Structure 1
Amino acid sequence: MPATFHLRLLLAATLAFASHAVAAPAPADVLDLYGTPANAEDRSFNIFFDAGAWHGYSLPAAADAGSGFSGPFVHSLGAGRWVGRRMAEVALKDAASGTPVALREVASHAWPGYLERRFEGDGVRLRQVLYFADARRALVRIELDATTARTLDIAVEAEPMLAPGDALALRDDALVQTFAGSDEALLTRLQMDAGRMPPQQDRQGHRFASAAPLRLQPGQPSTLVLEQYLSAETGTVVPPIADEPARWRDNRARWDGYLRAVAASHVDGVPDEVAQRVAVKAVQTLIGNWRSARGDLHHDGVIPSYSADYFNGFWAWDSWKHAAALAWFAPELARDQMRAMFDYQAANGMVADSVYLDAKENNWRNTKPPLAAWATREIHRATGDAAFVAEMYDRLVRYHRWWFAERDHDRNGLAEFGATDGTRIAAAWESGMDNAVRFDDAKMLANGEGAWSLDQESVDLNAYLYREKLDLAGLAEVLGKRDEAAAWRRDAGAMKQRIGTRFFDAAAGWFFDARLGTGERIGVFGSEGWTPLWAGLASQAQARAVIATMLDPARFATPMPLPTLAADDPRFSPVKGYWRGPLWLDQARFGVEALRRYGQAGEADALTARLLLAADGLAAQAPMYENYDPTTGKGYQARNFSWSAASYLWLLGIGRE
């Protein structure tokens, strides 16, 4: 039998690690990150992702005894699936008697940027911390500390979930899990203070076991580090992690930076601890949906939500909103979010609706509303990065001009939503408001080859385009292009007059879409009606009329205010209506910003407080939802929705002018 195996103690590093964790910068468990997968497709609970990783983990469900963590969930495998039920489960036995040491859970927490578990047994304490060192590598630091001298056999175990065609293989000191139909591989290995332990494999899973007993003494903690590395190619050679304590310090520095950036979150009428909690949750939501460049995605970006199996890519409209929020706490990710969409800009200037790991799936049937220049200007406002403005400017100009070349059926300088394939559904998707009531009777008109428009001009689209001209003027000035800036402002001035005349109904006091040809206004009171106020193009008289309707409890001042359709509309469907009544935070944010722009700061604060306090579970552990019932505050559709998080950050004052 080999000599007793001693783990070389790294006491100083261990104590430094522990001291960082104790001084937590934010509350724990802002999101409920507990769950154990019942099957490979289980998305019924929240998952911890960070650093752009495509694999994630959770704290095991409360009834699921044992140490370790649930996972991993690999998001880049199709729509995503669990490839492990449990990892990093620690088994201890008395070396002399072989008696298992029962571990009692003391605490489990989800902190910003890491998961932590603590256990106690007979004469021993166990602490596990899971965090991401980078986009491909998750680390679990396992600390063992004795309250009395113990000599123990130790094993670190895992329970994989293998789909047909998946395989497990031993490679040197690591275990490699491969996946049917994919070039990706998950490498797992364990490092000890004195070296690494090779894995063992059996039918139930795999384990890393010490070849000889571990001697623990009080006050002399021992450390192991379990690593899981998700590679894009099966044969990737992965060097072992170097200087793990430095990786932890980097993680803490990054998260401390995020949290400092949102520390000033405040809303009148909302307790500051609630505002802070929501701000931390918003950051966790956006960073949890961050995915690194991989496959045909050439830059990092933020997906809409990992909780829905249909959101495994980047969407244009979402990306612009994500970038505008990220600019204030993760500016390089904000820049990459923009680049990821413009990597695929077409020769005619169009930007795809959505892009994916496999570019063959990119959706070119439609684009999304034009907020890219606005997002770029937000990035510049947050960072002062003129080089990024120079990188994006010509691309933004081409995209802006595409709208008038491909989506202005009657060439009157006002655009319509449309599609490249002539389908009504793709044209509605292009609006971002897929099933909005205002489009119920719309028909398609051909503009040219691969270019179709709805037979109605939309007020929100043209308000966005007006605002984009002003944003392009601002970006041109950053680059010293004064003549171009002046030209953009002249164009905006002319468009402002057209919008006010075409879309505002003085009798109704609202901005409506208008039918091509007849000019008939489509009298649906929807959230698009306050977009001209957000853009700053409404006259004071127009704004007063619109604001009166926005503040009417029977229409838009619902318990959770500013829904997408007036509550007195007979077609109002606040639960399952999608864009036919539920509240979407981006539209509510634009509505609040509209109120502020026209001098209604008090009303804006009051509505903001209700948006925070009326959302079910927002101040507790509930995730941020895709949309909400404006009458009850109950969340619906996808959980952990990124643009809801982005909107809440602005409502909390982050990045607000």
Structure 2
Amino acid sequence: MIKKLHILFFLSLGGILLGCHTNKDISKGNKTRFSYPNVLNLKGNIINPNQEGVSSFSDLGTWHSFSLVDENTSTKKGAFVGPFLMRQQESIWLSPSLVGLTIKDVQADQLLDLSKASLKENTFYPGVLKQSFAIDKLDIVLYLFNINQRSSMITAEITNNGKAKEFQLGFSGSVFNNFSKGIRETAHGLEVDIVNDEKVNLVFQEKNIHLGDSDYVYLENARLLPAKGETSISMAMSYTFSTQEEQEFNKKNIAGLKQAQQLLSDNEHRWNGYINTLNQGDTDRILAIEKYDRLAVKSLLTLMHNWRSEAGDIKHQGIVPSYAATYFQGLWAWDSWKHAVAIAPFEGELAKDQIRAMYDYQNQEGMIADCFFRDLQIEGVNWRNTKAPLSGWSIYKVFEATNDKDFLVEMYPKLKKYHEWWYINRDHDNNGLCEYGSTDGTRIAAAWESGMDNAVRFDKATIMENTKGAFSINQESVDLNAYLYQEKLFLSLIADRINKQEDAEKYNQEALKLKKMIQEIMYSEEDGFFYDVTLGNQNVVAIQGPEGWSPLYNEIATKEQAASVMKVMLDDTKFNTPMPFPTLSAANEQFNPEKGYWRGPVWLDQAYFGIMGLYNYGYKNEAKEMAEKLVNSAEGLVNSDKPIRENYHPMTKQGLNAEHFSWSAAHILMMF
């Protein structure tokens, strides 16, 4: 049974609750979702199932999404684009438009030609797609929103500004030809076969369907609409992955049709709650919410659009890196830790489940898998490597947002086992400084374990066997050990919270010892920066990258060391590039953002760590200035409806690689 999501937020602002049909703010000075129209451009027209480049909207963890029609290239009114089905190897558009309003004038015995309607609004607001238009003295407003983790609802509100008249209301749509053989009538609507047990279901209130080869028309019984009269009609669509789910959500959605207006109102209150939460918090923000509120909302939307509910081999809900890239339709370890921290103030249960989802793939030795997917028969779990240890930070930050001590009790033994795994499997010489490594003895998987896949600092590294199935590269990485230091502190904090005082003291003492080692071994007095060091002789690997400011982010550096690192970070020949914080110093001869991935492009997680590192050591003005430079310079981030990108070119500031990227959004959101 799929876990019930807690989707209702009760929002009281000055004692006034917003009704579901107004686009006005709740009260003067308070913003609602209607304050943020078209933060992202979700308009487009689809002509083939594999079309790319059209962004879409989802919510509550559905594995499908919809878009608005592009009014500049389409005359279609009364319809929404899609759905887009997020599948593991081939995400596809099922239809150019599966759900469109249909109106029949009974007296004239003809369908209204909605292409002749006057379009008034075609807007994406957080949590809902809205279209309104007028035709034949009818004013029509359509909404598309999600009602549970598998389903969307489409509801239309019709007002008659003419004489009393009889109408038949309904819906129509089509599927692409490759799905036409799989469309059939059911007891409550239509069913479309995708593959195996994957199905799309449409449910209606009545059973009056005409089914063509690849299209359908549904019309309800005639109703008299008096002058100035109002009426409404709704339908629901689900995308499910088993017969049990299909039956469960058909039943839920049939019941939901009877309370469509309440569900729309609930959706609005929930999203207004998110907006309200966004505007609360610390007044000493890195980024000013008043100046960059649309960017903050865009960041939140990016995470919410990448929210996926539990399905198949994903046992807990979580946030995928990007719905726009088929290869990112799974969960990754260090992505997940970052997503959980960012989303926790808005959706605490989602944040906790994001962490649980990764720990579902913790083996008996304590290792957490790098990544996994909804269907492991298509693509298995990556056990070749894990990822940098940020889960202690994630667990404790989620606790701070939710105040759920039971969650700490649940996660503590798992976190403790994972932490100890590093020292058993990734400390080749048992000196207390760990290395990145792999389970298969390949250096490439060891580099993946760092998350910085092709970073220059690993170019000359070699792989060594520790024990059977445990390999390390021949260098001790400063970021890895800085994260392990931080994790010891969080283990100590968690142990203290759950009354394990002996553990709390143990981890605190270990942290102090590790801190001193990093300060003394991994810092170069010569150029004032932290580096990886080679095993044995502990010579610095003199490549300047973002790992060098991880001791500032994790508050390991002495004040003097931090001052020196700060100078390197703010040097415009190194890291203070036109868009700051590249993943390799611009002074390095191998700096190559065009081909680099981790050899130059700006990744916003590493930029965030740098900004917070400055902030931690009292350089608050510098931190804020660099944060503003970061977001103002990046293509499409501020004052734009373009999506947030995976990374950015530090010189041209152009967005690179995947669009709608979650951890980029997560770290922007953290700065608010």
**Distance in 2 separating the partners of 1:199 and 1:426:** 54
**Distance in 2 separating the partners of 1:89 and 1:549:** 57
SS of structure 2 residue aligned to 1:91: strand
Measured after TM superposition, the shift of residue 274 of structure 1 is 4.1
Measured after TM superposition, the shift of residue 269 of structure 1 is 10
SS of structure 1 residue aligned to 2:156: strand
Aligned to 2:96: 85
**Distance in 2 separating the partners of 1:389 and 1:492:** 20
Aligned to 1:18: 21
Superposition map of 1:32-43 within 5 A: 32-43=41-52
Identical residues among aligned pairs (%): 37
Measured after TM superposition, the shift of residue 423 of structure 1 is 1.2
Conserved in 1, the CA contact under 8 Å of 2:87 and 2:326? no
Conserved in 2, the CA contact under 8 Å of 1:267 and 1:609? no
Aligned to 1:317: 334
1:256-295 CA-partner distances (Å, limit 9, x unpaired) = 2211111148788977554111111111111110000110
Measured after TM superposition, the shift of residue 93 of structure 1 is 4.2
Measured after TM superposition, the shift of residue 112 of structure 1 is 0.6
Aligned to 1:175: 190
Measured after TM superposition, the shift of residue 503 of structure 1 is 1.2
Mean CA deviation greater in 110-119 or 58-67: 58-67
SS of structure 2 residue aligned to 1:339: helix
* Letter aligned with residue 39 of structure 1: N
Q: Does 2:458 correspond to 1:442?
A: no
Superposition map of 1:642-653 within 5 A: 642-652=662-672
Superposition map of 1:193-342 within 5 A: 196-212=206-222, 214-234=223-243, 236-237=246-247, 238-239=250-251, 240-242=254-256, 243-264=259-280, 272-342=289-359
Superposition map of 1:607-626 within 5 A: 607-619=626-638, 620-626=640-646
Conserved in 2, the CA contact under 8 Å of 1:320 and 1:371? yes
Conserved in 2, the CA contact under 8 Å of 1:299 and 1:337? yes
CA-based RMSD: 2.0
**Distance in 2 separating the partners of 1:598 and 1:197:** 67
Give the paired residue count: 632
Change (3 A) 1:389 1:166: farther
Aligned to 2:5: none
**Distance in 1 separating the partners of 2:573 and 2:221:** 72
- TM (norm. structure 1) is 0.93
Aligned to 1:11: none
Aligned to 2:658: 638
Q: Does 2:37 correspond to 1:28?
A: yes
* Letter aligned with residue 261 of structure 1: T
Mean CA deviation greater in 105-114 or 611-620: 611-620
Conserved in 1, the CA contact under 8 Å of 2:102 and 2:171? yes
SS of structure 2 residue aligned to 1:500: helix
* Letter aligned with residue 17 of structure 1: C
Conserved in 1, the CA contact under 8 Å of 2:179 and 2:193? no
Matching residue within 488, 498, 511 for 2:530:
511
Aligned to 2:29: none
* Letter aligned with residue 75 of structure 1: M
Change (3 A) 1:89 1:267: farther
Q: Does 2:427 correspond to 1:403?
A: no
Change (3 A) 1:76 1:39: same
Aligned to 1:117: 131
Conserved in 1, the CA contact under 8 Å of 2:191 and 2:202? yes
Change (3 A) 1:372 1:172: same
**Distance in 2 separating the partners of 1:503 and 1:613:** 33
Conserved in 2, the CA contact under 8 Å of 1:614 and 1:632? no
**Distance in 1 separating the partners of 2:557 and 2:573:** 23
Measured after TM superposition, the shift of residue 197 of structure 1 is 4.0
Change (3 A) 1:144 1:133: same
Matching residue within 547, 567, 570 for 1:528:
547
Change (3 A) 1:479 1:111: same
Change (3 A) 1:277 1:221: same
Show structure 1 runs of 5+ residues with no match.
1-14, 653-657
1:226-247 CA-partner distances (Å, limit 9, x unpaired) = 1102222246322113322222
* Letter aligned with residue 18 of structure 1: H
Measured after TM superposition, the shift of residue 211 of structure 1 is 4.4
Change (3 A) 1:207 1:370: same
1:23-53 CA-partner distances (Å, limit 9, x unpaired) = 6433110011112223222231211010011
Aligned to 2:374: 357
Aligned to 1:73: 84
Conserved in 1, the CA contact under 8 Å of 2:146 and 2:153? yes
Superposition map of 1:548-567 within 5 A: 548-567=567-586
* Letter aligned with residue 505 of structure 1: S
**Distance in 1 separating the partners of 2:91 and 2:24:** 31
**Distance in 2 separating the partners of 1:270 and 1:371:** 23
Mean CA deviation greater in 230-239 or 537-546: 230-239
Conserved in 1, the CA contact under 8 Å of 2:177 and 2:214? no
Mean CA deviation greater in 70-79 or 290-299: 70-79
Show structure 2 runs of 5+ residues with no match.
1-17, 27-31
Measured after TM superposition, the shift of residue 204 of structure 1 is 4.0
Conserved in 2, the CA contact under 8 Å of 1:173 and 1:199? no
**Distance in 1 separating the partners of 2:502 and 2:284:** 41
Mean CA deviation greater in 147-156 or 355-364: 147-156
SS of structure 2 residue aligned to 1:254: helix
Measured after TM superposition, the shift of residue 325 of structure 1 is 0.9
1:95-141 CA-partner distances (Å, limit 9, x unpaired) = 33345343222110000100000111121122110000111110001
**Distance in 2 separating the partners of 1:167 and 1:78:** 20
SS of structure 2 residue aligned to 1:358: coil
Matching residue within 186, 189, 194 for 2:200:
186
* Letter aligned with residue 368 of structure 2: V
Measured after TM superposition, the shift of residue 78 of structure 1 is 3.9
**Distance in 2 separating the partners of 1:642 and 1:112:** 16
SS of structure 1 residue aligned to 2:636: coil
Matching residue within 89, 104, 107 for 1:96:
107
* Letter aligned with residue 273 of structure 2: G
Aligned to 1:140: 154
Q: Does 2:171 correspond to 1:156?
A: yes
Conserved in 2, the CA contact under 8 Å of 1:625 and 1:640? yes
